[in-house]
Amino acid sequence: MTPPSIRLFNTMTMQKELLEPAVPGEVGVYVCGPTTYSYIHIGNARTFTSFDVVVRYLRHRGMKVRYVRNYTDVDDKIIKAAAETGETAVELSARYVEIFREDARALHLLEPDVSPKVSEHIPEIIGIIQKLVDKGHAYASQGDVYFSVSSDPDYAKLSKRNLDDLCVGERVQPGEQKREPLDFALWKAAKPGEPAWESPWGPGRPGWHIECSAMSARYLGESFDIHGGALDLIFPHHENEIAQSESASGKPFAKYWMHCGFLDLEGAKMSKSLGNVVRLRDALGKVDPEALRFFFLSTHYRHPLSFTDKGLADAEARMEYFYETLRKVDERVAGKDFGKGPVHGEPHRFFTEFEAAMDDDFNTAGALGSLSGLFVLMNELADKPPVKDKPLVGRTLQALREDVRKASSVLGLFEDDPAQWLLRRRERAVRERGIDVAEVERLIGERTAARAAKDFAAADRVRATLKEKGVDIMDTPAGTTWKVAPAHGG
C-alpha cells in the first residue's frame, strides 16, 4: 500500500513537512499530559482533543501508532495542593488522575497506548541524570542536580530565543544552588514532608522537565517521531527536554514538534495567573461534551480559539443539526437492502475532500467544512417523499452514511445513537428553560387527535401554542417528535 502523503507543521523548522516516520508505517507520538493537582482547564482539553484526532487520523490512514501521554504526579503544585487539603501528595494526585479519566471519556478521548506516571519511573529518571553528570552536562549541588545550559551549544533551537536576552532579568532564586541563572533542576533535594526517593545525590525527587525525557525514551526510544503539547510548553519545558535528552543520548530527540494554539476566554488568553480559567469539568456541566469537542475542532489546532458562550451555543446547534440529519437518514435506510447499482452523483467526493484537508496538517476545520456539504446532500435526499425512495436514493444515502461513520472514527463525533443524543439535548434544554414536558405531550396528543379528525385549523392552533412555549414539533415517519426551539429565535 502506498503510504499517505500527510504534511504537518514542524515547530522546529517552522514549515510544513512530509511525515516520514523512522520506521515506515509506524509512528511514535508523545504528548505532555496533565499535572494532576486540580481539574484541567479547557485549554488543556483543547490540546488533548487535537492530538487525539491526530492519532485517530494516522490510524485511519493505515499507520501503526504508539501513543504515549503521561501523568505528572510528582510536582511542586501537587505538594502544595495536598498540604491545603490534608491529603498526601500520592492521594491527591491519584484522585485527580481518576477525575481526568472521567472527563477524558466524556470528551471522547481515546485512552493512550501508554499513560505513564512520573512516580513509577524514578529509576529511568535517575539513569538519565547520571548520564548527564558523567558527560559534564549536569552537576550536583547540595543534594540538587542541575543541567548546565552553557554545556549545550544548541540550546534554544526550538524556541529560537537569544540566550543573552533570556539571561536579562533572570536570577538564581532563594533556595536554588545552581551556577548560572538559566540552569534548571534535574533533581531536587528532599524537604521535610515531601515525597522523596533515594538517589546517588541523596534523597529527593525529579525536576519537571526530566520526567518527559525519561518516559518518552522508555516507551518510544531515545529518538522518536512526533512530540506534541500546548504552545506555552515550547519554552522552557520542551526546550529543556531537547537539551537534556540529546545531551544524554547523543541522538536527535523528536523529529517533528507540534504545538496547539492558545484558547482565549472572551479574547483574553487563558491563564491561571489572570484568574480567567474555565475548568473542563464545569464546561461539561453546561454544554454537551460532543458539542464542546466539535467547538475545539472547528478551528485549526495551531490557530487561537476564542471561548465564548455564543461559540458554544453555535456548536450545540450545529451538533443538533447533524444528529437530526442522521436520525432522518437512519429511519430511511437502516436495515434495508437497496441492492447493487449506481448512486446519485459522486457521494464519496466529500470524504475525499475530508481526507485531503486532514492530510494538510490535520486541518479539522477544513474537514468539517467538507462534511457540511455531505450533510446538506443527505438532507436533500432524506427529505424526498418516501414514494420516490427508489434504490438509487437509498444506495446514495447508505454510501453517505458510511462515509459519516468513517469521519466519525477520525473526529470522535457522531458516535452516539442519534435519537439518544437528541433526547439528552432536549432534556438539558427543558431544564434550562423550565418547560413543562407533561403539558407539551398533552398538547401534542391534542394535535394528533385533531389531525386524525382532519381538523387542521385546530392542529395549527396547537402548533402555534407550542411555539409560544418554546417548542418546535416535527412530523416524521415514526410519528411526531419535538425539540426545544433556539432561544431568542436564534
Alpha-carbon distance 323 to 329, whole Å? Answer: 10
∠ CA 135-140-145, nearest 5°, is 90
Do residues 291 and 49 make contact, with C-beta atoms less than 8 angstroms apart?
A: no
Half-sphere exposure (Cβ direction) of 285: Cα atoms closer than 13 Å: 5
Rounded (10°) CA dihedral 70, 75, 77, 79:
130
Radius of gyration over every alpha carbon of the chain, rounded to an integer in angstroms: 27
Full DSSP string of 181-199: TT-EEEEEE--TTS--B--
Nine cell digits for residue 295: 467547538
84 is in an annotated binding site: no
272 is in an annotated binding site: yes
Alpha-carbon distance 477 to 490, whole Å? Answer: 27
Dihedral of alpha carbons 234, 235, 241, 242, sign: positive
- Comparing C-alpha atoms, which of 343, 346, 350, 358 is closest to residue 374? 350
Alpha-carbon distance 459 to 90, whole Å? Answer: 63
237 is in an annotated binding site: yes
468 is in an annotated binding site: no
Full DSSP string of 321-336: HHHHHHHHHHHHHTT-
212 is in an annotated binding site: yes
Binding residues for Zn(2+): 32, 212, 237, 241
Binding residues for ATP: 272
Binding residues: 32, 212, 237, 241, 272
